[in-house]
Amino acid sequence: MTLETYLKTAIKGLYGRKKLEVRTEIEGNIKELALEYQISGLNQTQALEKAILEFGEARALSAAMVKVHTMPKMIKAIFLAGLISSAALVGVSSSLAEILTSSVGIYKNCTTDEPHFDSSCVQPQSWMKLADFSADIGKAGGTFKLHTANSRILSFSVTFPGDHAIDIAYNRLPEKLDPEVAQKHDGWFKKDNEIWVNLSYTLEQIARYSFLDVIFEGWENPKLHVGKTVLNLTTGNDGTVAYYTYFYSAITDIFYPSSIDTFVIDPPISGVEANRQDRSIRKFKHQLKVNDKPGTIYAVFTQVQSKANSELNRQPVSTGLISIAPVAADGTITVWLNEPTFEFVSSLAKTEWKLKTPNFSPAALLKLNGRLDSKAPKTEIVIPANPKSIAK
Amino acid sequence: MDANLLKGNLDLILLSILEESEMYGLEITKEAQDRTGGYFSFSIGSLYPALHRLEQAGFIKGEFRPAPRGGSPVKFYQLTETGGKELKARKGEFDQFYNAVKSLWGKNLRGAS
């Protein structure tokens, strides 16, 4: 049975938003389970088949879900019908709770000055004992806090004085996984009662990439402090400033999508070849024609969704970033995405928003920040009434 | 184990697992298996209706978030305050039941000796 068939059967009898919700949930979990099997050595097809099988009978799932979600409503409807027929009209209103999917998690950093071995920016030498890592954080004046280390997830946070905590989560790798193979994957495992974790961050990186309160300190010193822990900071090779984060589709209703005029890859070689040549940094160059006055500053929000991001899971992954760049003499903006992802280039889907910021200020990003952080007070969110009026 | 026994105590099992930290469906299944040495082993699909029922009752709340490795979102569940109270009450009931059954066995054993 294919995943699509399974999902269709599993949500049969459900309607509207609930149908979509259940489908999303089941699909996400099946894919996660399939990933486990892939890590264990099965190929993608086998892994997916096995995961579907483990989920059990789709029709039974559907029947149980229908019972949970539609039976009470049917009973209510029958009750209401009785009321209507016997007495006056009853007004029925329904409200749908908003599904907030805007939680932001920053999973990993990709720096532009270090070699990377795969799309997860994992470096073999970054495996270390969690206890040692924790001790190092302490020596550096930070605080390490372990949240969870269960059969699936290891999560912890690191805080340095004056900064917000960096929350990090890793999937547990099978213990039988070959250490050589494990090195290529992000995650953690337990060996001899010690937790080993593949840290994409070195201690120095953590200190450097801590998430700060927003004050934009200018081009020479590209620090951007954002009120909440949302954006990560790095500097592109061309001097533009990019703020990496995973921000999914939360901003789609703020900035209108536009087409990308050109999308080139530099260097023009395959990712594998780039890696072999130790030229592992791939740069994706975006050129947007805005025909605006040269020197006008734009903040360009880009979301790149790969259909097959890593060699490990082949699952869609969204990566977002914000780049700030001036309009060139020919009326274009050039943005470089320094993205060390290799094999998925041909399957990239691109969505892009641009916000004209003649006088760029942190407030522009604060708007975004407020929208992204579901816990931020709603009053901080300023959604332009007509996005097109500010984006040319 | 007896499927009816599992079914009868599924809510208690799920609430107990979520007492410690928030998790999504697959994690909950694994956690149940791991913490009981494989004793609680149920088909993963059967878990979701129960979770949705508990959510409707207000004992847990779910939130869609990206899966740990990215990709399709999964729904993370966490215990609500009401759920915490419910769990406490159910634990009490279960303890009472368990002790009552145990006391019956004690009587039989004494009679047999």
Does residue A199 carry a pLDDT above 90?
Answer: no
Confidence of residue B56 (pLDDT cuts 50, 70, 90): confident
Does residue A369 carry a pLDDT above 70?
Answer: no
Residue A301 dihedral angles phi and psi, to the nearest 5°: -100, 125
**Nearest C-alpha neighbor of A239 from the set A225, A266, A219, A215:** A219
- The mean per-residue pLDDT over the stretch B38-57 comes to 82
Confidence of residue A33 (pLDDT cuts 50, 70, 90): confident
Minimal Cα distance from A18: which residue of B? B52
Residue scoring higher pLDDT (A17 or A336): A17
Which SS3 state, helix, strand or coil, does residue A355 take? Answer: strand
Residue scoring higher pLDDT (A125 or B8): B8
Confidence of residue A285 (pLDDT cuts 50, 70, 90): low
Confidence of residue B18 (pLDDT cuts 50, 70, 90): very high
Nearest to B27 among A100, A152, A170 (CB): A152
Q: Which residues of A fall within a CB distance of 8 Å from B65?
A: 101, 103, 105
Q: What are the start-end ranges of the E strands in B1-113?
A: 23-24, 60-66, 73-79
Sheet architecture: strand order including A349-356:
A232-235, A241-245, A317-326, A297-306, A349-356
Q: In this predicted complex, what is the ipTM?
A: 0.86
Does residue A296 carry a pLDDT above 50?
Answer: yes
Task: Kindly state whether A105 is in contact with chain B, defined as any CB-CB distance less than 8 angstroms.
Answer: yes
Confidence of residue B15 (pLDDT cuts 50, 70, 90): very high
Does residue B105 carry a pLDDT above 60?
Answer: yes
Contacts of A48 (CB under 8 A, 6+ apart): A3, A30, A31, A34
* Per-residue pLDDT at A70: 61
Rounded Cα distance between A352 and A289, Å, is 13
* Count of pairs with CB atoms under 8 A, one residue in A, one in B: 133
Q: Strands A262-266 and A297-306, how do they pair?
A: unpaired
pLDDT digits (tens, 9 = 90+) for A122-165: 333 346 678 877 876 676 567 788 888 887 778 877 665 544 45
Nearest to B63 among A54, A103, A150 (CB): A103
Q: Which residues of A fall within a CB distance of 8 Å from B34?
A: 150-151
Does residue B79 carry a pLDDT above 90?
Answer: yes
pLDDT digits (tens, 9 = 90+) for A113-130: 233 323 333 333 346 678
Nearest to A151 among B34, B44, B49 (CB): B34
Q: Which residues of B fall within a CB distance of 8 Å from A55?
A: 43-45
A326 forms bridges with which residues in the sheet?
A297
* Per-residue pLDDT at A194: 80
Residue scoring higher pLDDT (B12 or A313): B12
* Portion of chain A with pLDDT greater than 70, in percent: 29
If you ran DSSP here, which 8-state letter would residue B19 be given? Answer: H
Q: Which residues of B fall within a CB distance of 8 Å from A170?
A: 68
Residue scoring higher pLDDT (A241 or B99): B99
Angle, alpha carbons A59-B79-A29 (nearest 5°): 35
* Per-residue pLDDT at B64: 79
Q: Which residues of B fall within a CB distance of 8 Å from A317?
A: 69-71
Rounded Cα distance between A26 and B44, Å, is 10
Mean predicted lDDT score pLDDT of chain A: 51
